[in-house]
């Protein structure tokens, strides 16, 4: 039976409170095993509405589970998207504050900022190249609200795809200056290499993930607005961090970004 609006609103409140209070909860499909993907996105939209109503600003989008490494790590077989809000942003060299989070993990990503809107359906990689203003290095801090990061596709989609914080800044480049597909990325925690990959790990090319976002939003009549910051998804598995850790991600042709965990 389809989920009624009141239950969706109640689940949105449940998940958003868990995020705001840094408290882990059981995955929502334990109680609602028939939750559909469409309903999960509706719950996440209600979380967005709650934040916007409070004056929080949406600054962009994230694609999640776009690499085989991430799908294998999380046991999920297709990508999804989530929203990024103003208070998620941590400047390059800034602090990941564990007191505000549940069980944070970091992952290296390639991000883009659009100069023009992208509208699906039928958005292609060529449209994405034409719309990109610049490419930025990014580190996502994911923090599933579910115990032990154990979830299924619909539960994680309803939980804004584990979105929590992101670090970006450093050096930018245009699409002519770097090759996002072959771009090498190295993530180090306390000086030790913990993950490495190349842009192609993200469904063949990070720009494909941006096209997928535009085409997914089109299904509900939305576009990706000009100026959006978009994280294309982790290139590698995510790594847990703890206070005292220092994380650096280095990019071929894009410098590096770092953060301290406190
Ligand atoms: C879901 C979010 C995945 C990515 O980049 O693949 C994600 C999770 O792993 O908790 O952000
Ligand atoms: Mg991510």
pLDDT beyond 90 at 224: yes
Average pLDDT over residues 11-18: 98
The one-character DSSP state at 191 is T
CATH number, domain at 22? 3.90.850.10
CB count within 10 Å of CB 34 equals: 10
Q: Report yes or no on 188 lying in a domain.
A: no
- Domain membership of residue 58 as a residue range: 5-183+198-242
pLDDT value for 1: 76
Count of positions (residues) in the chain: 262
Condensed to tens digits (0 to 9), the pLDDT of residues 159-203 reads 999 999 999 999 999 999 999 999 999 999 999 999 999 999 999
**Global confidence as pTM:** 0.97
Q: How far away, in angstroms, is 6 Cα from ligand 2 center?
A: 30
**Count: domains in the chain:** 1
Q: Report yes or no on 189 lying in a domain.
A: no
Is the CB of 70 within 6 Å of ligand 1?
A: yes
Is the CB of 233 within 6 Å of ligand 1?
A: yes
Mean pLDDT of all residues belonging to the chain: 97
- Nearest Cα residue to atom 9 of ligand 1: 74
**What is the share, in percent, of the chain residues with pLDDT greater than 70?**
100
pLDDT band at residue 91, thresholds of 50, 70 and 90?
A: very high
Q: Report yes or no on 257 lying in a domain.
A: no
pLDDT value for 228: 97
Q: Report yes or no on 190 lying in a domain.
A: no
pLDDT value for 95: 98
Helices and strands per DSSP (H, E), number in the chain: 6, 13
CB count within 10 Å of CB 147 equals: 13
Residue 188 CB-density burial (10 A; 0-12 exposed, 13-18 middle, 19+ buried): middle
Q: Report yes or no on 192 lying in a domain.
A: no
Q: How far away, in angstroms, is 134 Cα from ligand 2 center?
A: 19
Nearest ligand 1 atom, CA 238: 9
- Nearest Cα residue to atom 4 of ligand 1: 64
Is the CB of 144 within 6 Å of ligand 1?
A: yes
The answer to whether 111 touches 168, Cβ cutoff 8 Å, is yes
Nearest ligand 1 atom, CA 79: 6
CA distances from 114 to 5, 69, 181, 186, 192 (A): 34, 26, 18, 25, 33
Q: Which ligand is nearest to the CA of 161?
A: 1
- Positions of E strands within the chain: 58-64, 80-85, 89-91, 95-96, 105-114, 132-142, 163-168, 184-189, 192-198, 229-234, 239-240, 246-251, 255-261
pLDDT beyond 80 at 140: yes
CB count within 10 Å of CB 5 equals: 10
Q: Report yes or no on 217 lying in a domain.
A: yes
Q: How far away, in angstroms, is 70 Cα from ligand 2 center?
A: 9
Q: Report yes or no on 259 lying in a domain.
A: no
Nearest ligand 1 atom, CA 65: 6
Q: Report yes or no on 101 lying in a domain.
A: yes
């Amino acid at each position: 039976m389809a989920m009624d609006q009141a239950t969706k609103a109640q689940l949105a409140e449940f998940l958003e409170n868990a995020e705001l209070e840094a408290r882990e909860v059981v995955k929502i499909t334990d109680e609602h095993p028939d939750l559909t993907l469409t309903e999960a996105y509706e719950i996440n939209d209600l979380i967005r509405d709650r934040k916007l109503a409070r004056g929080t600003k949406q600054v962009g989008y994230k694609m999640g589970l776009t690499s085989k490494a991430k799908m294998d790590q999380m046991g999920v077989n297709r990508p999804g998207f989530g929203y990024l809000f103003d208070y998620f942003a941590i400047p390059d060299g800034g602090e990941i504050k564990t007191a505000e989070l549940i069980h944070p993990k970091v992952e290296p990503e390639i991000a883009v900022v659009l100069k023009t809107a992208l509208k699906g359906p039928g958005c292609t990689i060529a449209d994405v190249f034409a719309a990109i203003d610049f490419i930025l290095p990014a580190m996502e801090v994911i923090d599933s609200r579910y115990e032990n990061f154990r979830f299924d596709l619909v539960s994680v989609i309803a939980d804004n795809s584990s979105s929590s914080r992101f670090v970006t800044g450093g050096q930018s480049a245009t699409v002519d200056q770097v090759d996002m597909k072959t771009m090498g990325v190295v993530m180090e925690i306390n000086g030790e290499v913990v993950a490495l990959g190349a842009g192609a790990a993200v469904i063949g090319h990070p720009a494909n993930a941006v096209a997928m976002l535009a085409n997914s939003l089109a299904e509900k009549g939305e576009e990706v607005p000009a100026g959006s910051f978009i994280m294309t998804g982790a290139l590698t598995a995510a790594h847990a961090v703890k206070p005292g850790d220092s994380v650096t991600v280095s990019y071929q042709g894009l410098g590096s970004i770092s953060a301290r965990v406190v």
